[in-house]
Amino acid sequence: MKGHIGEFEELVLLTIAVLGEQAYGVAVLEDIQERANRKISIGALHSTITRLEEKGFITSYMGEPTQERGGRRKRYFHLTASAKQALADMKSLRNELWNLSNLELSSQ
């Protein structure tokens, strides 16, 4: 079931998009922590990523072993086309709503 994207899922997807080739677990985690200023446990992040992968929004591949992390490989994430589509839908929905509520919100 292709579905609806939750708020945190959207955040994760966007962050992966921002990080591009360097999107792996810790990078995503730290990026979200800095930008959104919220604490996330590694478990929560990986659970979300797993769910996104199962929904078909993300693909992942293992990187090459390097000197860092004691030779342990990283898992890199990529957005799929359907993720981009879903994000775009989300954005347009938001824009529409923003435009409609423009009067209310801009006064503050």
Partner 1 sequence: MKNQGQKTQQPPQLATRLFFWMAGSAAVEDLYGDMEEIYFSNVDKYGKSKANRMFWKQVLSLVFSYALKSRKANAAHSYRASSISPALLYNFFKVSMRTLIRHRSFSIINILGLSLGMSICLLSITMYYSIQQFDLFHINKDRIYTVNTLVINNQVNDKFATTAPYVHDNLKSYTNQIEEVVAINDGFSGEVKINQNTLPVSGLYVPPAFLKIFTFPLMAGNESTALQEPFSIILTEKAALRLFGHTNVIGDAIELENKGTFQVTGIMKDYPGASHLQFESLVSYSTLDAIEPGLNKRFEDYRFYTNSYTYLLLQKGSTPEQLKIPLEQIAQELSNPDETLELNLQPVTNIAAGENINYSIGPSFDRLTMAFFILLTLIILAPACFNYANLSMARALKRSKEIGMRKVVGGGRRDIFIQFIFETFIITSIALFGAIYIFTIIREEYLAMIIGAEMLDLSINLPVMVAFVGFAVFTSLLAGVIPATYFSKMRAISSLRGGGKAGVLFKSKLRNGLTVFQFCLSTFFIFGAIAMISQYYHSMNYDKGFDEKGKVIIPLHNIEPEIIAHEYSNFPEVSEIAFSSGIPGTHSNNEVWVQTYQVEDSVAVHQMFVDNSFLELMGFKLIRGHSFIENLNQDNEIQIIVNKTFAQSMALAENEIIDKTFRLPHGLTARVIGVIDDFNHLPVMKQIQPFFFRYDPSKFSFATLKVDTQNVFETATKFEQKWEALNDLIPYEFTFLEDKLNAIYDQLKNPIKMFGFLSFLAVSIACLGLLGMVVFTMENKVKEIGIRKVMGASVPQLTRHLSQGFLKLMLLALVITIPLAYAVYEFMLQRIIFYNKTIGLVEILSSILILSLLGSITVFSQTIKSAKLNPVDNLRYE
71 binds partner 1 (CB under 8 A): yes
Residues 30-59 binding partner 1 (CB under 8 A) are: 41-44, 46-47, 49-51, 54
Closer residue to partner 1, CB minimum distance, 67 or 107:
67
Q: Shortest Cβ distance from residue 96 to partner 1 (Å)?
A: 33
Q: Shortest Cβ distance from residue 25 to partner 1 (Å)?
A: 4
Binding segment (CB under 8 A) for partner 1, from list 5-13, 14-22, 72-80, 94-102: 72-80
Environment class of residue 28 by beta-carbon count within 10 Å: exposed (0-12), middle (13-18) or buried (19+)?
buried
Q: Residue 107 is encoded by which pair of tokens?
A: 């006064």
Give the residue, chosen from 32, 74, 83, 86, that forms a contact with partner 1 under the rule CB under 8 A.
Answer: 74
User: Which residues of the chain form contacts with partner 1 (CB under 8 A)?
Assistant: 24-26, 29, 41-44, 46-47, 49-51, 54, 62, 68-75
